[in-house]
Chains A and B, each alone.
Chain A
């Protein structure tokens, strides 16, 4: 206080330091894109981009190498599709129940429980899928392999229910009371109000929750690495072992592939596909969420 000039230089220094910390987040993004680009370009110098996207076999570690990413993409799409088939209906149901039906007290109990469960590490879900759900499913479906897409898909669906339900509920919560009251005044039941007024009004927000949940499912790693197998398999059969993009990266990281080789670069090319698909989905999801916000505020 007694040295205003000193204080002013101090202020300037602090502001610069704070700005540097803010810029670090931008540097992280630049770093991610830079690293992926650098290694992916190196990869495509040796492997043709056409082969990468059209070859139907992924065998980079075999003597006869094939670099077709499609089996990994199919594996990822399969587990994610199963997950969203489970999480979509259950998540919306939970959201409608919480936002339109549940008494305040029940809501106050259920919401934090869902939030806490969203914090369960994914490796725990992996253990559960491999050693609890798969044996259970094997009793129902004879011939189901110990590794398959179905079990981790279902468990992943349950894992992302809190994500779908909380984002959808936010969207439903943002629907003005007036719309509901108008529906009730016209003699609608709660169910009719929920399905015919609230859900359509919150539609873009609900869709956004789906998109973001799918993006999350695509990037999920440990669950599928543990329970889905490590077999690049161009199939949509949920009963056989497959391999997702994320699992492949884990598989190579655990092995002894020397850094700097073509085999090593594959994980960055796969990582690039993974990054771009989740990035695009997140952008679409955010855009949709912004839209429903603007409508009512």
Chain B
């Protein structure tokens, strides 16, 4: 038999272990969050004082104090808009096909599903190599906005497809049955009933995709986007630069003044991506609650 004293000792030891672990775990979580906090604080401290109207509206310059992010900012806006215009309709259409038009267990749909999951794990720089050969060289788009946007579109397509599929799947099947019962065709059911109901979830995916595309640097460098552009693109075939590329260019220079510029660019980039991500997570949480 185990004595009461022994049990008590055991319990005390358990409690001690529990308490200790909790401390270790909290310290671990705090280290992670503190580092990330330091990252943001570091960029803010260096960058915020540099941001003013002139910084946002000036072209890059050899003198750090006169340089700005105008061409990068405009380039990013054009690039992301073009990316979304290509990736969003195709991504939603692919999701609709997989969820509404094929037998879920059919071979083709399984192949596409596995394939999309794998594509989501391919390093972004590999998409850059694909874009370089396919869009820049084979299609002769050169180092244009269009080549960049098509490359990024392929990169974010899996994000749009996966999020849209989840959203479409969450629409109750009774909605579809009701539409069919009233004589709607499959496409009418999809476009008038399923897609509107799935919209918040799809929107979450689109926002995440856009946020990802804004921060992508490596594939754009690989397709040869320029790092010094003192003009605003005048069409989809124009050469361009983008905000993360401009930041990279400034970080790579030895002068301290350019590092400050990089920090200021990072603050702008972080502001946009973090706001978009927060919005996406907020939308998703709200939307999940609605269904439960």
Contacts and interface: CB of A to CB of B under 8 A. Distances in A.
Interface stretch (B173-181, B233-241, B268-276): B268-276
Contact of A124 (B91, B154, B269): B269
A35 B32 contact: no
Contacts of A250: 125, 218, 221-222
Nearest to A246: B125
A97 B214 contact: no
B74 interface: no
B112 interface: yes
Interface stretch (A46-54, A125-133, A170-178): A125-133
Interface residues of A toward B: which range?
35 or more
A14 interface: yes
Contacts, number: 244
B39 A271 contact: no
Interface size class of B (residues with CB under 8 A): 35 or more
A267 B125 CA distance: 11
Given A19-B97, A25-B119, A126-B251, A274 B158 contact: no
Interface string B186-212: 110000000000000000000010011
A31 B18 CA distance: 53
B222 A119 contact: no
A97 B118 CA distance: 30
Interface stretch (A56-64, A186-194, A198-206): A186-194
B230 interface: no
Contacts of B217: 121-123, 221-222
B125 A274 contact: yes
Given A26-B111, A123-B215, A275 B122 contact: yes
A219 B187 contact: no
B118 A110 contact: no
Chain B interface, DSSP helix/strand/loop, else mixed:
helix
Contacts of B56: none
A288 interface: no
Consensus secondary structure, chain A interface? helix
Contacts of B227: 254
Interface of A: 1, 7-8, 10-11, 14-15, 17-19, 21-26, 28-29, 31-32, 35-36, 38-39, 89-90, 93-94, 96-97, 101, 110, 112-113, 115-117, 119-128, 130-132, 158, 161, 188-192, 194, 212, 215-216, 218-222, 225-226, 246, 249-250, 253-254, 259, 267-268, 271, 274-275, 278-279, 282-283, 286
Interface of B: 14-15, 17-18, 21-22, 24-26, 28-29, 31-33, 35-36, 38-39, 42-43, 89-91, 93-94, 96-98, 101, 111-112, 115-119, 121-130, 132-134, 137, 154, 157-158, 161, 183, 185-187, 208, 211-212, 214-218, 221-224, 227, 244, 247-248, 251-252, 259, 262-263, 266, 269-270, 273-274, 276-278, 281, 285
19 contacts: A19-B97, A19-B101, A21-B89, A21-B90, A29-B118, A90-B32, A116-B277, A121-B269, A123-B251, A124-B43, A127-B262, A128-B39, A130-B251, A212-B121, A220-B123, A221-B218, A225-B218, A249-B129, A279-B121
